Amino acid sequence: MPLDSLTDKVALVTGAGSGIGRAVAVALAREGCRVVLAGRREEPLARVAEEVRGCGRQAFPVVCDVGSREAVDALRESAGRVGVVQILVNSAGIAPAASILEMEDALLEEVLRVNFLGTYYCCKRFLEPMIEMRWGRIINIASTTARTAYPNTAAYTASKHAVLGLTKVMALETARNGITVNAICPGYVDTELTRENARRMAARVGGATPEVLERFARTSPQRRLMAADEVAAAAVLLAGPAGDAVTGQGINVDGGAVMS
């Protein structure tokens, strides 16, 4: 049954065309939100929009590269036609694998542009109306790499550490404005992004993709990949009344992989 506090609130989810972003968008729609769906590709956004409408809620897909300031300005204008964004979920991200010596500088710059600057741009541009309303929820999808590190993830790990740091500072600066700012730190999630990373790693180090996925799963004491819906459930919790006193946190959804 939808949480009354979320009914008809406007939620913006970036990276909404697939994976965690898609799961969060649908979960918020089930709780009564109207959902603005942002992503780089029109076709996946259209499919998720139909899922949201299937929940009886309005969906507003917007093509946007969050790593571009100009694109996020245009996203703010488009979302403003729907209403004030009260729940912002920054889920857009990329995760190419490369060791520090073989990584091109351009790859690091691109990962930081999308994962960190994209989160920063969205936070900054949608925060002020939340302050004016004295209510808002910002949920940044980070990673267990925001707390620890794995080989061949230098760019991704740096970007997610930055996201978690930004989350904590924003939580301090908005704590008296009716706003909470939190990060969710998933472990390896069963998404196409994870499977693509497994394929790349298998090609680089040898072996088969299923073997690499099994290696990913073994990073968790539960010996499994997380489900995108499990991450989405944490987002709904943080967006609803149960999350009123939770701010500045990095919530691990990782089957016990990182215990801190």
Query: How confident is the chain (260 residues) per 10-residue block, as mean pLDDT?
Result: 77 98 98 98 98 98 98 97 97 92 96 98 98 98 96 94 98 98 97 88 83 92 97 98 97 93
- Parent domain of 220: 188-225
In a domain, 144, yes or no: yes
Residues with a catalytic annotation lie at: 156
CA distances in angstroms from 238 to 82, 101, 133, 181, 255, listed in the order given: 22, 39, 18, 9, 19
Q: What is the CATH number of the domain that holds 81?
A: 3.40.50.720
Q: Are residues 11 and 23 in the same domain?
A: yes
In a domain, 17, yes or no: yes
Task: State how many domains the chain has.
Answer: 2
Q: Are residues 23 and 98 in the same domain?
A: yes
Q: Are residues 125 and 45 in the same domain?
A: yes
Secondary structure (3-state) at 15: coil
Q: Are residues 10 and 133 in the same domain?
A: yes
In a domain, 89, yes or no: yes
Pairing between β-strand 85-90 and β-strand 10-14 as defined by DSSP bridges: parallel
Q: What is the pLDDT of residue 1?
A: 43
Secondary structure (3-state) at 52: helix
Interior angle at CA 241, CA 235 and CA 246, nearest 5: 65
Q: What is the pLDDT of residue 3?
A: 52
Q: Are residues 95 and 205 in the same domain?
A: no
Rounded-to-integer distance, Cα 196 and Cα 97, Å: 10
* 119 CB-near residues (< 8 Å, 6+ apart): 66, 90, 92, 140, 163, 166
Q: Are residues 220 and 237 in the same domain?
A: no
Query: What's the pTM value of the predicted model, to 2 decimals?
Result: 0.95
Q: What is the pLDDT of residue 227?
A: 97
Sign of the C-alpha dihedral computed for residues 75, 182, 17 and 46 taken in this order: negative
Token pair belonging to 116 = 């960190």
Cβ burial 22-58 (10 Å sphere, 16+ → b, else e): bbbbbbbbbbbbbbbbbbbeeebbeebbebbeebebb
In a domain, 257, yes or no: no
Q: Are residues 8 and 97 in the same domain?
A: yes
Q: Are residues 43 and 137 in the same domain?
A: yes
Q: What is the pLDDT of residue 124?
A: 97
Q: Are residues 21 and 136 in the same domain?
A: yes
In a domain, 255, yes or no: no
In a domain, 254, yes or no: no
In a domain, 256, yes or no: no
Q: Are residues 99 and 138 in the same domain?
A: yes
Q: Are residues 92 and 79 in the same domain?
A: yes
How many CB atoms lie under 10 A from the CB of residue 89?
30
Rounded-to-integer distance, Cα 91 and Cα 65, Å: 12
Q: Are residues 93 and 198 in the same domain?
A: no
Which neighbouring-strand residues pair with 25? none
In a domain, 60, yes or no: yes
